[in-house]
Structures are given as C-alpha cells and as structure tokens.
A and B are shown apart, each in its own frame.
Chain A
Amino acid sequence: DTGVSQDPRHKITKRGQNVTFRCDPISEHNRLYWYRQTLGQGPEFLTYFQNEAQLEKSRLLSDRFSAERPKGSFSTLEIQRTEQGDSAMYLCASSLERAEKEQFFGPGTRLTVL
C-alpha cells in the first residue's frame, strides 16, 4: 500500500454512460498525475496537477474527459459518453514538488465499457 487510494477499484458501465473516478493522494504531495494503461502496455500520461492547478493535458484526453482537483487534495476524473475504447486501467500517482522525486501509484480503477 503506497498511501494513494483510488475509488472505485472496478467499474463496469454501458457505452454512453458517464463515469467518475476518485483519487486520494498522499497528503503532503502537491503533485498529482493521471495515467491510463491498456492490457500489455505501459501507462500513458493523461494529465497532472500542481496543487489545484491543472498544468498539462495529453492529446489522449479528449473533450469527453475532464479532471479536477478542487482543493489541491483529492482529484476526480470524469469520462462522459463512455466508449468501448475507454476500457482501461486508470492510474493515479502523486509526488512531492520536485521532478527528481519518485511517483507513488494507487491501485488503479479498472474500467470496462460494454
């Protein structure tokens, strides 16, 4: 257990539905990252926050995706109008505010879109 928690751990939804995932980082970490991982591949960067500010979004993050970190603590990732291609593991990670610090990953939320 790294101290980063994610909820839910599994989500099954029907195509077209909206889903929201939550990430609680390690409390003193002001950087928070979202990644997506498909089967047999490494994680791919989606977006990250420094405190409450969203500083970069990957081109993988279409308009259907939105992420927030309203008080600089927990973060949510919402996918609207889910598609089967959204099926993946969504990983959250947090770190201290230095590039040369390791990231601590949560257990992930596995999304299955039927």
Chain B
Amino acid sequence: SQQGEEDPQALSIQEGENATMNCSYKTSINNLQWYRQNSGRGLVHLILIRSNEREKHSGRLRVTLDTSKKSSSLLITASRAADTASYFCARSTDSWGKLQFGAGTQVVVTP
C-alpha cells in the first residue's frame, strides 16, 4: 500500500508556468527522493533530500522538506513540454534504502 500522498493527482499547465506538487508522509524518514516517469517508461531520479536538509536545487527544480509537517514539495520553474510526465516522491525509511512511493502527480505541460 502507498505510504504517502501526492497532491494534486493531476496538474495541467502551459509552457513557461511553474508547477508545484506536494508530498505528505506518515513515518520518519532518512531521506526523500523525487522521480520522474514518462508514460510507460522507467523512473528517472531527480533529487534526493536528506532528513536534515530543508531545501535543494537542481537546475529548474527546487525541493523543500518540512519534517515537522512530514511534507515535501517539488517546484518546476519555467516548465517545458518535455516536463510532461508523472512525478513521484519516495521515502527511504531504513538503512537498506528501500523506497516507499506515493501514487504520483501527473503533470501535463501544453505548448
């Protein structure tokens, strides 16, 4: 079963706009990771944020983590049509690194 929730479930925006999606979870974490999945393909790692970190950047991506609220957000700035994909947050809760995924946010960016 899923161990957290992404919000919204779906997001439709135009090129150039920013896209924000949120992830909530229930148990303490070692780290939280964001992945992208294009339709019917494997997952691509985007960003890993550790439990003692509050914010990380990678190119047009910004991830925040609030462990007191057990939530994280992913911001994609200046979106492009190529950003169309499903985005998943995944929690790592043990030393072995297994990941617990949410159901994902489906993002559609229209030209």
Residues of A within 8 A of B (CB): 2, 4, 31, 33, 35, 40-45, 48, 50, 55-56, 89, 91, 93, 95, 98-108, 110
- Whether B103 and A40, one on each chain, are in contact in the complex, defined by CB atoms closer than 8 angstroms, is yes
Chain A residues near B40: list those with CB within 8 A: 89, 110
**A43, A99, A106: the one within 8 Å of B31 (CB):** A99
- Whether B97 and A91, one on each chain, are in contact in the complex, defined by CB atoms closer than 8 angstroms, is no
- Whether A99 and B96, one on each chain, are in contact in the complex, defined by CB atoms closer than 8 angstroms, is yes
Chain A residues near B43: list those with CB within 8 A: 43, 91, 93, 105
Interface segment out of the listed B13-21, B61-69, B76-84, B87-95: B87-95
Residues of B within 8 A of A (CB): 1-2, 30-31, 33, 35, 40-45, 48, 50, 88, 90, 92, 94-104
In this complex, the member of B43, B88, B104 whose beta carbon has the largest number of chain A beta carbons within 10 angstroms is B43
- Whether B42 and A45, one on each chain, are in contact in the complex, defined by CB atoms closer than 8 angstroms, is no
B44, chain A: closest CB distance, angstroms: 7
- Whether B42 and A2, one on each chain, are in contact in the complex, defined by CB atoms closer than 8 angstroms, is yes
Q: Given contacts A41-B104, A42-B88, list 6 more A-B pairs with CB under 8 A.
A: A42-B2, A45-B99, A95-B97, A100-B97, A103-B45, A110-B40
- Whether A102 and B30, one on each chain, are in contact in the complex, defined by CB atoms closer than 8 angstroms, is no
The residue on A at minimum CB distance from B51 is A100
Bound state CA distance, A44 and B98, in angstroms? 10
- Whether A50 and B88, one on each chain, are in contact in the complex, defined by CB atoms closer than 8 angstroms, is no
- Whether B30 and A99, one on each chain, are in contact in the complex, defined by CB atoms closer than 8 angstroms, is yes
**A2, A56, A93: the one within 8 Å of B96 (CB):** A56
- Whether B42 and A91, one on each chain, are in contact in the complex, defined by CB atoms closer than 8 angstroms, is yes
The residue on A at minimum CB distance from B88 is A42
A selection of 28 A-B contacts at a CB cut-off of 8 Å is A2-B44, A31-B97, A33-B99, A35-B99, A40-B103, A42-B90, A42-B101, A42-B102, A43-B43, A43-B88, A44-B2, A44-B101, A45-B98, A50-B96, A56-B96, A56-B98, A89-B40, A93-B43, A99-B95, A99-B96, A99-B97, A100-B50, A101-B97, A102-B33, A102-B48, A105-B43, A108-B41, A108-B42
